[in-house]
Amino acid sequence: MTPARLLSTAVYLGVARHLPWGPRPGGGVSKRLRRFLAERMLDECGQDVNVEHGAWFGSGKGIRLGDRSDLGMDALIMGPLTVGADVMMGPRCVLISDNHATGDTGRPMNRQGYVPSQTIVVEDDVWIGAGVTILPGVRVGRGSVVGAGSVVTKDVPAWSVAAGNPARVVRARKRSEP
């Protein structure tokens, strides 16, 4: 980890993460500071991003955030994760690319370690509602909406609305083009 990333991570986790969220007094300055630090922490950080109060993404390693996208208030991000442009994320979302190994029934699960990380991909122009959980290896297609409280265990096709636990496509946002 570079010294700049290390320092930015320490300032973000120790101070900036806890500053007021956007609409509160002081929120504008807080958002600018979080964006400044995210630009130094994330592997890629687009222009005009928003990292809200309480968002946790470790050192930012393996995380790519596109232009005009945001990490919602109190989000928990464990990459690798790629977020496209113009993505909205509600509060308290959980996006986790890691998973525990569970295949050896002769050993306790807490002693089996982890399986290799699977990157989560959120394509452009997606709205992730409040409290959504997205599991390892999932791709959320362009122009999709994921309803609040959903648990996304499988890919969501482009231009669709998915909701539930597990999340299922409940309707299309756009008709198929011939």
- Is the CA virtual torsion 121, 73, 55, 33 positive or negative? positive
Q: What is the DSSP letter of 48?
A: T
Query: Is-contact 152 138, C-beta < 8 A?
Result: yes
pLDDT number for residue 178:
52
In a domain, 11, yes or no: yes
- What mean pLDDT is reported for the chain? 94
Phi, psi of 156 (to 5 degrees): -110, 120
Return the active site residues: 100
In a domain, 113, yes or no: yes
pLDDT number for residue 177:
57
Report how far apart, in Å, the C-alpha atoms of 88 and of each of 65, 125, 146 are: 11, 8, 10
pLDDT number for residue 81:
98
Greatest CA span in the chain, whole angstroms?
55
Q: What is the pLDDT of residues 8-56, one digit of tens each?
A: 999 999 999 999 987 788 888 999 999 999 999 999 999 999 999 999 9
pLDDT number for residue 161:
98
Report the C-alpha gap between 143 and 147 in whole angstroms.
13
Q: 136 lies in which domain range?
A: 3-172
Q: Choose among 56, 54, 82, 51: nearest CA to 68.
A: 51
Average pLDDT value for residue range 68-84: 97
- Please state the domain count of the chain: 1
In a domain, 178, yes or no: no
CATH code at 143? 2.160.10.10
pTM, full prediction: 0.92
Average pLDDT value for residue range 166-177: 87
